[in-house]
Amino acid sequence: MFERTLQDLIRGLRAHKASSKAQEDAFLSEAIVEIRSELKGKDMALKAEGVLKICYLMMLYPIPAPPEFAFHVVEVMSSPRYHLKQIGYLAAPMAFSGDTEEVVLTVNGIKKDLMSPYVPLPPLPLTALPHLLSLSPSLSTTLHPDLLHLLTHSSARIRKRAVLCLLPCWEAFPEGLREGFPRLRERLQDSDQGVVGATVGVVMELAKRQGGKNYLPLAPELFSILTGSSNNWMLIKVVKLFAILTPLEPRLVRKLLPPITSLISSTSAISLLYECVRTCIVGGMLDPDRAEGEALARVCVEKLGGYLRDEGGDQNLRYIALLAMVKIIPTHPAMVAEYQDEIMQSLDDPDVSIRMRALELVTSMVDRDNLQTIADQLLSHLAPSETNTSTLPSAVASLTAIANQLSSTASKDPAITSTSVSLSPAYRLLLTQRLLSIISTDTYINVTDFEWVISVLVDLAYVSHVNVGTEIKRLVSDVVGRVKSAREYAVGVLEKVIGDEDFRERGRSGTGEDGLLEAAVWVCGEYSSYLSSPLSAISSILSPTLHLSSSTLISLSLHATAKIFGHYAATVSSSWSSEKHDEAKALVASIKSGLEPFLTMGEMEIQERAFELTQLLNFVQADLTNHIPPAKKPTSTSVNDMPDMEDGFADSNGSNGDASTPPYPKSLFLLEPLFTAHELNAVAYKAQEAVRIPEGLNLDIEIVPGGGFGELDLQDAEEENSEDEKVIDLGEGGSEGMEELRRVLREQEKKGKKRDGESKEERARRRAARKAKQKDDPYYLYDKNDDLQEEEDIDEIPIVKLDDSDLPEEPIETKSTSRSSSKIKGKTKSKKNPAPPPEFDRTGELPEGTILPPPDTLKSNQLERTASSGLAAVDLSSSFSSIRGSGRFEEYNVGDDEEKEAKIDDRDIPITATSEIEVVKVKRKKKGDKKKKDKAIE
């Protein structure tokens, strides 16, 4: 049989690529069959070639590895030939996955190769080891001593590879870090620059993964690299490493400032310059309290701004400038604000990477002055696509009338350059989310005009074409609830939205437009007093296509209809006339017919609401039908399709129409009180927690002792009845039926009072009797403890009124205006002073007398704690004491083994003041330990 080499295989594949797909597949499967037999054969060279071919094919095609591929790789790895072994080690990372047991088989081979005196051999396993170590923690444990041994190998090439292997090894075997750390430290002073570079890389990764605290003691070595080395790559790494270390040790800043400033001014490598600038920013070196910090910040921002301004220059530099500016914003917002124009331009960049960075930067730049400009520009990025899809000519037309945001800038040049990017749904989603978040950030702290917010939200729902419905719904109802002054405007806009049949249709596919609709329906219902035309609002809410919508929207719509009708009916009574009478009758009829389809709807809630409303309307309709309007008496009452209700109202209105009864039917006031009993306000964050348990209320006590079935039912019923009487104000008059009802109610009330009047003894007696009965009842769960417990009387539980009046409003106006005016001073472009924000409810409702606890940082701390595990949990600070202990960190070394053993499990041991003593001890013991260790290794 003739065996193909890898080259032959590749040639074959290329030859067949030109022909049909089927032929290529046939060739491929043939080749795989061949390779399988090669793998199974005895010839090691063929096997190795087969392994290599499989690796190649697996890179190109989605084929699974042949069975026992890993095993063959192990065989090749153990071949004594260098070139075959290399193939084996090359294939190992591809062949082994987490669950292959073959890794265990390789341990001895790898150990042998690592320790081989033949210098070219150890690099082979070292190349593959990082992958294998991360797969198998046991391998790490076994090979750890060997790796440490290799750290002092005579060949620098092996030393640096060994250093790099330590990272995955410690990752899987965190305990090794304690033993290996001093050895790693020695490598920082290695004679070979490559080894030092590799060590710096490892320290950087370690510091990034477990926090820099353990690596602060390395600062002197790192500092000497920073001042002594000329290798840019290494300098970059060291500078980046210091960015992690300086926040932990502020005194480092003073030491680092001179070398870093000199690097910034002298280096020719932009990459290094940039990293220095970034470290200055991230490492907290720009402390505004210090004079040089401010100057340095100025230098940094100018460098970055220079990159940003460099039009037509390097795009990469613009990208990283934006990246670094995000970091500097929190401390020096004013300096970045000088480059606002450039940053805004970057939002229009054809490069999506730059846009995303600019977007991030812009979101963190937002303040009260620029919110509207920024938001409008973001919105204009979403808008152009609207011309492409153009499904909504009517909506667009009406919207441009509503909102003047889509001004001329929207359709200018960005439309040409950015349409392709704007259409990427993920980018649109990101943009929309950012836009929503800058508006709502910190409970609308930057918003000055809430009507504008409403219009932006509506626009967003129309043009974003991404699914942010829930978010928009939340914001719309939140804004309307909090800001009383914006309600009228909101209702006006949203009234148009609910009438937009095209928009409804878009929402039906579940793309998020429903969110705005739901909010609109709710707002129009809740604040129906602002509706320009309740009649048309009702007809558009109960649109003929409503039954196609989602069930949430339907049930909201039904409820809103009831609210609007309730309000309409109450208002219309003030100017009652025969025209109004006709109008009301027609309205009731049309609502009823609109409800028709939902009476048979499968959804429970919809059906219930539809029936409820229909019954209430029946009531009203009957009343209306029998009512004779004041002007034209006999004409209008002709049709009567509700014979059963006729008895209820006919007589009272028809015959008793004297001067004492008002000129309008009383049933007009049936619905409104159902919805207006309590104004809905925003509830404060933590309000629920803040409700204090009133004194004397013990929540652990059974409210109704003894399970309380019989008695409870009766009392509940009474309470419900009396409540009903209160809520539905039946008023006087009405038919005989009403009289009857009132009589019954009164009697029941009396009965209840009688019950109240019962003496305690009587009640106790009754209870005892009931309990005795229950005892014999096999179906009743009888609690034996009941007898022993002192029974609590319901009536003895004090009823405490929970007061829910609003907290006094925060005086935000004064604060905010002073802030914004100070900001304006700094700007040359003087804008018109923004109006103080409209009064709105920022905090929301809270029970009276509660003080909001400060937002606790505890939670995040805890999260961090729990997140640290594995390598991150290893804390070296317990053994090599900290800088804070004495100020001269050069003297410290890793503690002795016993101490380490004891403290391995301790996480986050605080640095103690007694560390000085520890160190002395450490130094004495260390030599003995080293000897021990060396022995063990040999």
Partner 1 sequence: MIHAVLIFNTHGKPRLSKFFTPLPPLIQQSLISQIFSLISDRPAGVCNFLDAPDLVFPTPGNISIAEKGKGKTKERKEEDDTRIIYRHYATLYFVFVVDGAESELGILDLIQVFVESLDRSFENVCELDLIFHFDEVHHVLSEIIQGGLVLETNINEISACVQAASRNRKASAASSNPLIPSALAAPGGRGGNRGGSADGAKRWLAAIGV
- Considering only residues 753 through 792, tell me which ones interact with partner 1, judged by CB under 8 A: none
Q: How far is the CB of 143 from partner 1 (least distance, A)?
A: 13
Token pair listed for 451: 């009507």
Cα gap 188→222, rounded to integer Å: 8
Q: How far is the CB of 205 from partner 1 (least distance, A)?
A: 6
With contacts defined by CB under 8 A, name the span among 55-63, 400-408, 470-478, 927-935 that binds partner 1.
55-63
Query: Which of 28, 73, 74, 94 is close enough to bind partner 1 by CB under 8 A?
Result: 94
Radius of gyration for the alpha carbons in the chain, expressed in angstroms and rounded: 40
Token pair listed for 646: 């006729």
Residue 350 DSSP class: S
Near partner 1 in 341-400, by CB under 8 A: 350-354, 356-357
Task: Tell me, residue by residue from 646 to 665, as one string, x for binding to partner 1 by CB under 8 A and - for no binding.
Answer: --------------------
Cα gap 40→229, rounded to integer Å: 53
Considering the complex, state which of residue 125 and residue 499 has its C-beta at the smaller distance from partner 1: 125
Task: Tell me, residue by residue from 894 to 933, as one string, x for binding to partner 1 by CB under 8 A and - for no binding.
Answer: ----------------------------------------
With contacts defined by CB under 8 A, name the span among 235-243, 540-548, 558-566, 916-924 that binds partner 1.
235-243
Cα gap 87→45, rounded to integer Å: 10
Residue 889 DSSP class: G
CB 590 within 8 A of CB 602: no
CB 697 within 8 A of CB 800: yes
Query: Which of 21, 22, 62, 644 is close enough to bind partner 1 by CB under 8 A?
Result: 62
Neighbouring-strand partners of residue 845: 683
Residue 32 in the binding site for partner 1 (CB under 8 A): no
Q: How far is the CB of 211 from partner 1 (least distance, A)?
A: 11
Near partner 1 in 246-305, by CB under 8 A: 270-271, 274-275
Cα gap 414→217, rounded to integer Å: 52
Query: Which of 125, 130, 283, 705 is close enough to bind partner 1 by CB under 8 A?
Result: 130
Considering the complex, state which of residue 283 and residue 734 has its C-beta at the smaller distance from partner 1: 283
Burial of 852 (0-12, 13-18, 19+ CB in 10 A): middle
Query: Which of 31, 54, 110, 164 is close enough to bind partner 1 by CB under 8 A?
Result: 164
Query: Which of 129, 371, 541, 553 is close enough to bind partner 1 by CB under 8 A?
Result: 129
Near partner 1 in 139-158, by CB under 8 A: 157
Which residues, including other chains, have CB under 8 Å from residue 467's CB and lie 6 or more apart? 429, 510, 511, 512
Residue 204 in the binding site for partner 1 (CB under 8 A): yes
Task: Tell me, residue by residue from 458 to 497, as one string, x for binding to partner 1 by CB under 8 A and - for no binding.
Answer: ----------------------------------------
Residue type, 580: K
Q: How far is the CB of 139 from partner 1 (least distance, A)?
A: 11
CB 874 within 8 A of CB 175: yes
Considering the complex, state which of residue 121 and residue 682 has its C-beta at the smaller distance from partner 1: 121
Residue 890 DSSP class: G
Near partner 1 in 861-880, by CB under 8 A: 867, 869-872
Considering the complex, state which of residue 427 and residue 450 has its C-beta at the smaller distance from partner 1: 427
Residue 4 in the binding site for partner 1 (CB under 8 A): no
Cα gap 216→527, rounded to integer Å: 62
Q: How far is the CB of 118 from partner 1 (least distance, A)?
A: 3
Considering the complex, state which of residue 87 and residue 628 has its C-beta at the smaller distance from partner 1: 87
Residue type, 450: F
Q: How far is the CB of 362 from partner 1 (least distance, A)?
A: 15
Q: What is the DSSP string of 14-67?
A: HHHHHS-HHHHHHHHHHHHHHHHHHHHSS-HHHHHHHHHHHHHHHHHS--PPPT
Considering the complex, state which of residue 62 and residue 228 has its C-beta at the smaller distance from partner 1: 62
Query: Which of 47, 144, 160, 567 is close enough to bind partner 1 by CB under 8 A?
Result: 160
Residue type, 66: P
Considering the complex, state which of residue 80 and residue 849 has its C-beta at the smaller distance from partner 1: 80
Considering the complex, state which of residue 202 and residue 553 has its C-beta at the smaller distance from partner 1: 202
Cα gap 299→332, rounded to integer Å: 12
Which residues, including other chains, have CB under 8 Å from residue 323's CB and lie 6 or more apart? 357
Sign, CA dihedral 874-879-882-888, equals negative
Query: Which of 205, 342, 451, 896 is close enough to bind partner 1 by CB under 8 A?
Result: 205
